[in-house]
Amino acid sequence: MAMIEINSITKHYRTIEALKGVSLCVQEGTIFGFLGPNGAGKTTLIRILAHLIEPTSGSFSIDGKDLKQHIGYLAQQPAFYPWMTARELLRFSGKLYGLTSLETEKRIHELLSLCGIQAAADRRVGTYSGGMIQRLGIAQAILHKPKVVLLDEPASALDPIGRKEILTLISRLHEETTVFMSSHILEDIQRVCDEVAIIADGSIVLQQDMDTLLRSHAQPLISLEFDHPSDALLCQTLLSKLSIEVAREAHNRIVIAETEYQNRYSQIMNTLNDHDLRLRSLNKQNATLEDVFMHHIKERSHA
């Protein structure tokens, strides 16, 4: 069932077209990654979904409706009242969403431990570190059990340990809600998301579930590493002559598509033997989201 439906949303600022007709569909219970370089329109779309800004045209619905109640939001640079304690902030949020005191207290208790901030619950938010703010940010976004949580670059500003902790936390959220998170860090998206959309220059370039995407868009590669750079160069020239597609990755390493490698296996091996080219190693490289991303972003800039 579609949880988020976005129908050709555009957003124009005075001189810039931040979004040029974005349509997306997110299924219930997924962790959806929204990927794109800085300035591609990620934050703009998330802010529209969070009711912070109005789209110039187009519409969206969350579970068929358009209610703030159904949405939890964590901004890219979250700003909470520094004079409140974390517990007060969550209580304040609960009341604003119309939860009863009993529900709120129970939920706060749950979330403080889920997000690992029990010990600092009664400290003022102004004294929190970046990582703690982000964890509190997730707690305040899911407190009222929204149908969708919008996370704008939730881990990008953190150090590696903080990032890992936040991502682990996010991966646990799919049990209770649908997550829509943006990031420009491919690794993060690949680590937690089930499905991904890539946005560039205000338009969606592709949307697919992570496995299919990695399998279909990025082919695994075989890399051949040589002792001497000259061997690598020679091998590249020889294989090219046999019309095998070869790319040079480093001065002593070349890569061949796995399918090509399998189809032309004997020819490749013979070439190596005939010219006494010594391999140092032979590896299979699995495709990463980065390959897909680079491929698509490059394709656009060439077009």
Partner 1 sequence: MHNNIGILLWKEMTEGLRSYRILIWVMVCLFFGILSPLSAYYMPDILAMIGSTQNIALTLTEVTYRDAVDQYVKNFTQIGSIIMIFLAMGSVAGEKADGSLQFLMVRPISFHVILFAKIIALMAMVVLGIGIAALVCALYTQYLFPGFPLTLFIQSNLILLLYLLVIGVMTTSLSAMVSRPVTAGLASLGLWLVFSMLGSLGGAGWYSFTRLASEIIQVVEGFPISLKPFSSAILVILGSIEGALCVLSRWEPSH
Partner 2 sequence: MSKEFVLLVTPLVVLELILKLVCLRDWMKREQVNGLSRTAWLLIFLFVNLFGPIAYLVYGRKHHGHD
**Least distance (Å) from partner 2 to the CB of residue 83?**
8
CB of 132 to partner 1, least distance (A): 17
Q: Is residue 126 near partner 2 by the rule CB under 8 A? A: yes
- Give the integer Cα–Cα distance in Å for 196 and 179: 11
Tell whether residue 82 is a contact of partner 2 (CB under 8 A): yes
**Residues in binding contact with partner 2, number by CB under 8 A:** 5
- Phi and psi torsions of 273, nearest 5°: -65, -50
Q: How far is the CB of 126 from partner 2 (least distance, A)?
A: 5
Query: Please, are residues 111 and 72 in contact by the beta-carbon 8 Å criterion?
Result: no
* Terminal Cα distance for the chain, rounded: 35
For residue 258, give both structure tokens. 């796995």
Q: Pick the stretch among 64-72, 128-136, 167-175, 257-265 that binds partner 1 (CB under 8 A).
A: 64-72
Q: Contact region for partner 1 (CB under 8 A) — 88-96, 162-170, 260-268, 287-295?
A: 88-96
Determine the angle formed by the axes of helices 210-217 and 289-302, rounding to 10 degrees. 60
Binding string, residues 9-48; x marks residues near partner 1 by CB under 8 A = ----------------------------------x---x-
What b/e readout covers 26-59, taking b as 16+ CB neighbours within 10 angstroms? beeebbbbbbbeeebbbbbbbbbbbeebebeebe
Q: Which of 45, 287 has the CB closer to partner 1?
A: 45
Neighbours of 283 (CB within 10 A): 12
CB 152, min distance to partner 2, A: 14
Closest CA to 88 of 110, 121, 126: 121
- The stretch near partner 2 (CB under 8 A) out of 77-85, 167-175, 201-209, 223-231 is 77-85
**What is the nearest approach in angstroms of partner 2 to the Cβ of residue 117?**
19
Residues of the shown chain interacting with partner 2 in the complex, contacts defined by CB under 8 A: 77, 79, 82-83, 126
